Amino acid sequence: MTEYILPLSKVRCMNCAGKIQTSLRTLPGIDSVTVDTQQAIIHGDSALAPIIDTITELGYGAGYHHSLPLQGLSCGKCVAKLEQAFAENPNISRFTVTKTQADIDGLLTRDEAVALIEHTGYQVPAPKPLHLALSGLSCGKCVAKVEQALAGVTEVSAYEVSKTRADIATSGEAEAVISAIEQLGYQATPTSPPAIEITAETTQQAPETTPADAVVADTADDVPASPGKQSLQLMLSGMTCASCVASVEKAIRSVPGVTRASVNLAERTALVSGEAPVDRLIEAITDAGYGAELSEDEHSRRERQQTENAQLYRRHLRNSLIALGAGLPMMGWGIFGGSMMITSTASQLGWGAVGIVTFVMLYTIGRHFFVNAWKAFRHHRATMDTLVALGTGAAWLYSTVLVLLPELFPEQARHVYFEASVMILGLITLGHALEARARSRTSKALEQLIDLQPQTAILVTPDGEKEVALAEIHTGALLRLRPGAKVPVDGTIEEGQSYLDESMLTGEPLPANKQPGDKLHAGTINQNGSLLFRAEQIGSDTMLARIINLVSEAQNSKPALARLADTVSAIFVPSVMIIAIVTAMIWYYVGPAPSSIYMLVAATTVLIIACPCALGLATPMSVMVGVGRAAEYGVLIRNAEAMQLAANIDTVVVDKTGTLTEGKPQVTTIHAYDTDESQLLQLAASLERGSEHPLADAICQAASERSLALSVQSDFEALPGYGVAGNVEGQRVLLGNQKLMTQHQIDIAAAVKDVQTIAEQGATPIYIAIGDQLGGLLGVSDPLRSDSVAAIERLHQMGLNVVMLTGDTEITANAIARQAGIDTVIASVLPDGKAAKVAELQQQGKRVAMVGDGINDAPALAQAEVGIAMGSGSDVAIESAQLTLIRHSLHGVADALQLCGATLKNMKQNLFGAFIYNSLGIPVAAGILYPLTGTLLSPVIAGAAMALSSITVVSNANRLRLFKPDRNLHQ
């Protein structure tokens, strides 16, 4: 007789298990069958294949299915040898083998299958983790498409996909996986691993490698970390415009081993992922004509950047004052009647001296324009420096030739333009100075977060207390926190009580009362009491460090809106140069006399007025300020694309428990039938102490308050969406909702009136069955948060449709909704049905934001356009959500949506301004208004306009630093 223990999948209830059990008993050779929702235990002489076939024909999954890549098979004999080994193993029901892959069905786990292959003399490449940042996914359907594509990649053994990232276990190359995703029209770039490991509990296994579509712990548990993968930040120098960004990104991506490169013009940094050596990256950037060095830690980098920005501001300001000091008298001379013409030897000598002064200005103040332009020319590209160098150089060269050889020019064309070269230098340099000053303010929010981290801590030792550097603190150390001090690391209070100011971290203005057992987070401020606490997370593992890292990465990300600017920027400067040449030709051949003057003025003005810098700064500046401002309000934004999606939301779906309510339910009512209340509560608490559900805590707490002694329970079984079951004191006890009672045919007629009363009070009725009889009812109420009603009203006033999605009964859900002011309620939804309800709203044309805890509501969060996780900033929440609210309040949702809308509006303003400026400025500079005005735009005015365009973009982005949520709605 053979015993088969067969894992099952898609078996959701005992009715399903009963169907399987009935069908298996009809097979010949079967002596006994025991089936539950997890597995089937079969005794008999039947072969394995017909058993699996019977179960799969019913629509369920049975056994394991592995699709394993192979190494070492070189011919048909190798294939035959492995096939023979599979055929001789009684736990394999079906298999196919090629020289590169084996597909196996049966009872073998992945480890057992690999061991069998290796025993035969061949190898299975170990799966490696691959973490991808995704963009372009806007809903659950997009996620499903990516999952389907990954399921079709043979080397992929496990995956977990959201709208913003994919965590994958694969034995193949990353390029094959990325290609499969990009063929769908999405973007995928390698990124850092999440804060939680890819395990069988957190990933979805690929269908080819799972036990009949079940989630089984046989693939990714032993996946080693990839030692070569790294994400590093480089500090850059020499960049001036969007064309420079494209050139640096191209140079970085040309280095073997680079999988992702993102260059930020506003920050002058590059974020690089992959396995490329640092020296090769720096060499590639240097060869492209720019400077680069490895960034230090975030605090040192910010400090250095601020110092360099201050020095740059002072240098540009000094140079601009010198240039304008020399240029203004020249320009004033011409404006107030002085001659700018070469008419005599004296004028030649006078303007020759001016020309020498102008050359000195170009060689000193304007030197970097020409050096950078030459570097760009050597690398076959053109940048903003190219335009400035050509414009100022052409004006100076024309004027110098005119001074030296005036006889080559007709008399009316003997006009010098030295003042134009100097004034253009002065105005553009002044623009750079003001831009540097404004840019240094954009990262103020991140600097404030970094400043929250103290550099020392008070270590408690047997010899007493001493102040030590933060680097000397290790996990498990006992630390003293004095009144007024900042918390140095994350930990748990062991002694003392105090109020802590967490406003800079969570946005919550009221101090939080902290007692022994409570968590402390680095950066928060102790107000009065002295505390002893145990260090648990230090360095980069603290919540503050993770938030800083998340904000920094988000500030370097690009929204979909930026792609248009990137596309235009790539061809902008060459296009401007072509327009300048065409303009010069038209004025030379068609323009009035002296045509050479008109040609020079028009071409120079076109080169000077064009501003690729404004295009390059338009979106990064808005994103940097917006993400930083969001962090100040306790809103963590995963990337800029999530911000753009959130700005267009029209429906907010909220989970009830822990989102609208406190998440701390209490037993408010007990109804006992044929037993007393204490016995009923004692049985319920004895059973529930094996559960982790919030309602279980409420029942156990109620029993504790009555000092009831709990009994030992056995055969505990959690039934998601229904309740729990188990044995207590020799009796079978069921505890759950009405569906659980119906499933087990428990008569609940006696409780109908009590259930309605409980539900109308906004409490959740919980049925308790003892044996096959209804024993009683518990009413469990979870009170609304103090600010939920005001927050819902605020969302309504923002024009948003608010929907409550809950597994509670319709009567209870409607009672809570009435209290909260919510009109639309979707009740009695199982955990795995929430995503489908969100999809239904999307099919109605709604753009949905789902607000949940980031773990239980994960499918619905992934399905929605934007997933918003509420909580205390846990690892899972921060890594899984597109937006995470550290402050546990629905006001944070309104703050986040308002800020995302303001940031998107700011980005559009900047892009519109940059496009309109160049679209109007270049034709005007080329002389399109000459037939109407009879004059051309001065190159000096063009230089001022160019400087003003960059200043305008940066200043407009900095307006977001003044953003405040609508306090009238808030109140």
Which residues are known catalytic residues? 655
Which residues neighbour 80 within 8 Å (Cβ) at sequence distance 6 or greater? none
DSSP letter assigned to residue 341: B
For the chain, helix (H) and strand (E) counts, in that order, are: 33, 38
Cα(266)–Cα(245) distance, integer angstroms? 10
Cα(454)–Cα(896) distance, integer angstroms? 28
DSSP string, 842-896: HHTT--EEEEE-SSTTHHHHHHSSEEEEESS--HHHHHH-SEEESS-STHHHHHH
| Residue 533 buriedness (CB in 10 A; 0-12 / 13-18 / 19+) | buried
DSSP-derived 3-state class of residue 160: strand
DSSP-derived 3-state class of residue 300: helix
Count CA atoms within 13 Å of residue 964 on its CB side. 6
Instruction: Look at residues 460, 199, 420 and name the one whose alpha carbon lies nearest to residue 331.
Output: 420
DSSP string, 97-117: E-SSEEEEEES--HHHHHHHH
Cα(615)–Cα(179) distance, integer angstroms? 30
Look at the chain and count its residues.
971
**Structural element, H or E, at residue 624:** helix 612-632
| Residue 828 buriedness (CB in 10 A; 0-12 / 13-18 / 19+) | middle
User: In this structure, what token pair is assigned to residue 156?
Assistant: 């992929």
Cα(333)–Cα(505) distance, integer angstroms? 59
Hey, what's the torsion of the CAs at 472, 473, 479, 480, to 10 degrees?
A: 50
User: In this structure, what token pair is assigned to residue 109?
Assistant: 């786990």
Are 958 and 897 a contacting pair, CB within 8 Å?
Answer: no
CA angle 823, 824, 826 (to 5 degrees): 145
Cα(362)–Cα(421) distance, integer angstroms? 8
End-to-end CA distance of the chain: 74
User: In this structure, what token pair is assigned to residue 498?
Assistant: 């105090």
What is each CA distance from 885 to 505, 508, 593, 878, 888, in whole angstroms?
Answer: 11, 11, 67, 9, 7
What is each CA distance from 413 to 332, 375, 942, 959, in whole angstroms?
Answer: 20, 34, 21, 47
Q: State the helix-helix crossing angle for 612-632 and 444-451, rounded to 10 degrees.
A: 40
